[in-house]
Amino acid sequence: MKNKFYQYIQNLQNQITSKLEKVDGVAKFREDIWERPEGGGGRTRIIENGAVFEKGGVNISAVHGKLPDTMQKLFNVGEADFFACGLSLVIHPKNPMVPTVHANWRYFEMYDDNGNVINSWFGGGQDLTPYYLFEEDGKHFHQTCKTACDKHNSEFYPKYKKQCDTYFWNAHRNEARGLGGLFFDYCKANDEMSMEDWYNFVTEVGNSFLEAYVPIVERRKDLPYTEAQRTWQEIRRGRYVEFNLVHDKGTLFGLKTNGRIESILMSLPPHVQWVYDHKPEEGSEEEKLIKVLQHPKDWI
């Protein structure tokens, strides 16, 4: 399974970076191949200063070795060997009318002293973070997520949509990071789903990503915007940074397992502002977004 999924994310990385380069029309992804001293490595691809994308990364990694102490405590296990692989992406467009997007699909295994798999699971999801609210974009993104889920289980979309709203909640701000999407973790074999079934589901979601995001980018990338709207985008990006550094498990996992810092922090946008006690004007488009972030809604 680990070899099968790693092959899948290598191919998916190629598909996504190729498509995003075409959408941008100017910038190309820079590739870094790196190795982790404790075992494994990855392939980082970064796009910067494009016509459409100000900064973004589409990264894959496959790491293995002894489970670090911090992870032993998290999983409530003793010493064990592990393998983890996944694709993680964050795209920050230049135009504030185009939303930021994040996605991640991952697989994890733990082994006993004889190298037998004693635990394995899938996780992942995809979510949208706009700076200005276009209802049709939220509906399109969520409908694409629901269509992918419904091919496997009609209960998945409402369940994983709710988990996404709960997970991407900036508790210290009492607001969502964005409009949500899907979030699932610890997807293990059970009476209803084998690991093969979970693989089919996770890859279905992965394959839906470009369909979920690219049409939104195409609709919004050429819209005019003002300097004030750009400032609002940078203030909202600050909230994105706060979530990733304070709450995000993936970021913390990477930092605690001696992950590659440049790859982990590629999720941070290049231009950000923190303005003291900033509040949007009453009745403005900016306030309209905040109200939705404070009370996540059903998009379908």
| Residues designated catalytic | 102
Q: How far is 91 from 101, CA to CA, in rounded Å? A: 5
Instruction: Return the residue matching tokens 């979030």.
Output: 183
Phi, psi of 32 (to 5 degrees): -125, 125
Cβ burial of 78 (10 Å; 0-12, 13-18, 19+) is: exposed
Phi, psi of 129 (to 5 degrees): -125, 90
β 81-93/100-111 pair status: antiparallel
Contact 100, 67 (CB under 8 A): no
DSSP state of 221: T
Rg of the chain on CA atoms, in Å: 19
SS3 128: strand
Of 166, 142, 199, 237, the C-alpha closest to 8 is 199
